[in-house]
Amino acid sequence: MHPEDLKYTSTHEWVRVEENLATVGITDHAQSELGDVVYVELPQQGATLQKDDLLGTIESIKTVSDLVAPVSGEVVEVNDDLADTPERVNDSPYGTGWMVIIKLEDPSELEDLLTSEQYEAFIEEQ
């Protein structure tokens, strides 16, 4: 179940683009593989990242997973609710489980992202 209006990465992040802002989270496939999320480590508001930088980490009961920046830019908002209620990532990976909002530095990077069809094909191959 991967919404068609979003873009995806091969590291299982999704991106919702609104003007020059990119909201980022992890996909339903990713949260399902991870299991119960217990901690989400995210950057501070104001941090600047390059595409493919380590954006944060997601700890579940059984494993830890890296969050990778899908685009370059400044982190303008961080979902602080995930500190108290990390289970949102499992329950609503595309909704209340969103993680950060990045102000796009280079919109052409969006072209490197996958469509929902391409992402689904990708995870099928795994």
Partner 1 sequence: MRTPLYEEHKRLGAKMTVFAGWEMPLYYSGIAEETLAVRSAAGLFDLSHMGEITLSGPSALDSIQYLTTNNAARLGVGQAQYTLLCNGNGGVLDDLIVYRIEEDSYLMVVNASNAESDFAWVGGHAFDDTEVRNASREKAIIALQGPGSARILSELAWFDLESVRRFHVLPGEVAGVQCLVARTGYTGEDGFELMCGWDDAARLWSSLLDAGQAYGIAAAGLGARDVLRLEAAYSLYGHELTEDTSPVDARLMWVVDIEKGDFLGRDPIRAARDAGPKRLLTGLEAMERCVPRHGYAVRADGAEIGRITSGTFSPTLRKAIALAYVEPDIAVPDVEVDIIVRDKACRARVVRTPFYKSGNLPHPPPS
The residue ranges that bind partner 1 (CB under 8 A) are 32, 35-36, 38-39, 41, 57, 59, 61-62, 64, 83, 90
Residue 105 identity: E
Smallest distance, Å, CB 45 to partner 1? 18
Token couple for 32: 């399902």
Distance CA 20, CA 101 (A): 10
Of the pair 20, 63, the CB lying nearest partner 1 is at: 63
Smallest distance, Å, CB 89 to partner 1? 12
DSSP assigned state of 112: G
Smallest distance, Å, CB 19 to partner 1? 33
In this structure, the chain runs to a length of 126
